[in-house]
Amino acid sequence: MTEMILRDAMSKALREALDTDNRTFLMGEDIGAYGGPYAVTRGFLEDYGEDRIRDTPIAEAVFVGAGTGAAMIGMRPIVEVMTINFSLVAIDQIVNHAAKLSYMSDGQLSVPLIIRTVTGGGGQLGATHSQSFENWYASVPGLRVVVPATPQDALGLFRTCRKDNNPVIFAEHSLLYRVRGEVPDEYYEIPLGKARIARPGEDVTIVSYSGMVRVAEEAAEKLDELGISAEIIDLRTLSPLDLETVVESVKKTNRAVVVEETWKTGGFSGTIASNIQEAAFDDLDGPVLRINGPDVPAPYARNIEQAMIPSADWVVESVTYNFGL
C-alpha cells in the first residue's frame, strides 16, 4: 500500500488513461499550461503535448459538445469542467445529447465520455461556485454519476469508468483533494454501483457520499463516546445506486440517517430515504432522517457558510434527539 492524497490519485488515474489508450485525450479550462485549477494535471502538457492535453476557451457547451462528438466516433475523451456549477452552461449537451444518444440510436451509437468536475462548498467561493449538482445528474437516465470520498476509491472507480461505454459525471469534492489514504500498489478496479461499508456499526445506519463521508465518520466517533454504534455507508456512486447494501444495513440497525451537502428540497437524500422506507418499513424503529443544507444560496462569509453545511455535531444531535439514544 502507498499513502497518497486524492489529488495525486486522480493524477495517476489520468496518466494511466493517457499511457494505455491512444484514443484518450484531455480537454478543459486551464488543464494545460496552468496545470489544472486544482493542480491535478500539473506537468501533463509537457509530458503529452497539445494534441492530447487541450486547453479550451471558457465555453462549456462547446467543449462538452466536442467531447460528446469525439466519443461518438470512437475516441475516449476526458473533459474537465472546472466546477460543477459551470456544467449548467453545458447541461443541454450533457442531458439531451450525451445521455440520450445510445438509447435514441438503439445502441448504434455509444458515448464513452468522462466529464470530470469539482463539486461542493466550504471554500468561500460564493453562491454560484459552491453548489452540488451531482444529485441532479443522478436523476437522468443514461448517465453514470460517481462521487468518490477516498484516494483509493477515486483511482479504482476511475479505472472502471474508463472501460464504461456510457457518459460519466465524475464529481470530485473540492475539499477532498488533500485527504490522505492508502492505495494498493497492485492494479485494482472498483465496480460502479457497489457501496462501501466505511465503518461497521449496530445502532444506526448513516448513509452519505463524497465530502459528507468524512462528516459521517467524525459523527460516528462522537456517537461512539456516547455508547452509540453507527454504521457508515459510503455510496460511492449515485447512478448506479447500491440500495441493497443500504437496506441490509438498515435491517440490522433499525435506524437510518442520510447526510447530504446539497439542499434538502430536491436532494438525493429523498430518493434514498423513500427507497429505505419502501424496502425496510417493518424494520424501522423511527423515521428515516434527512440531514441536508438549508434551502438558501451559499453565503460567502466563512462563519455563515460553515453553519449551513451539515456537520458532525448536527448529525449527533439529530440521532440522539430523534431516536432517543
The residues near 151 (Cβ < 8 Å, ≥ 6 apart) are 4, 5, 6, 8, 9, 179, 180, 181, 182, 183
Same domain, 18 and 119: yes
pLDDT score of 325:
80
| Averaged pLDDT, 204-209 | 98
Cell numbers placing 139: 436523476
pLDDT score of 156:
98
The answer to whether 135 and 260 have CB atoms below 8 angstroms apart is yes
Q: Residue 80, class by beta-carbon neighbours within 10 Å (0-12 exposed, 13-18 middle, 19+ buried)?
A: buried
pLDDT score of 207:
98
What distance in Å separates the CA atoms of residue 273 and residue 255, rounded to the nearest whole number? 11
pLDDT score of 205:
98
| Averaged pLDDT, 100-125 | 96
The residues near 106 (Cβ < 8 Å, ≥ 6 apart) are none
* Number of neighbours of residue 83 by Cβ within 10 angstroms: 20
Active-site residues: which are they?
Answer: 60, 129
Provide the domain count of the chain. Answer: 2
pLDDT score of 61:
97
The residues near 83 (Cβ < 8 Å, ≥ 6 apart) are 37, 117, 118, 119, 129, 174
Residue 189 maps to a domain:
no
pLDDT score of 324:
85
Q: How confident is the model at residue 155 (pLDDT cuts 50, 70, 90)?
A: very high
| Averaged pLDDT, 203-218 | 98
CATH number at residue 144: 3.40.50.970
Tell me the per-residue pLDDT of 32-91, one tens digit each, with 9 for 90 and over.
Answer: 999 999 999 999 999 999 999 999 999 999 999 999 999 999 999 999 999 999 999 999
- Tell me which residue has cell 495517476: 12
Same domain, 6 and 96: yes
What distance in Å separates the CA atoms of residue 262 and residue 43, rounded to the nearest whole number? 33
Residue 191 maps to a domain:
no
CATH number at residue 257: 3.40.50.920
Residue 149: closest CA among 121, 120, 173:
173
**pLDDT of 27 strictly over 90:** yes
Rg (Cα) of the chain, in Å, rounded? 20
Average pLDDT, the chain: 97
Same domain, 41 and 162: yes
Q: Domain of 57?
A: 2-183
Same domain, 127 and 225: no
Specify the DSSP element, H or E, that contains 81: strand 78-81
Global pTM reads 0.96
- Domain stops at, among 156, 183, 210: 183
Same domain, 50 and 125: yes
What distance in Å separates the CA atoms of residue 131 and residue 118, rounded to the nearest whole number? 10
Buried b (16+ CB within 10 A) or exposed e, 90-100: bbebbbebbbb
Please give the C-alpha separations between residue 184 and each of 151, 158, 232, in angstroms, as whole numbers: 10, 15, 22
Cell numbers placing 217: 465518520
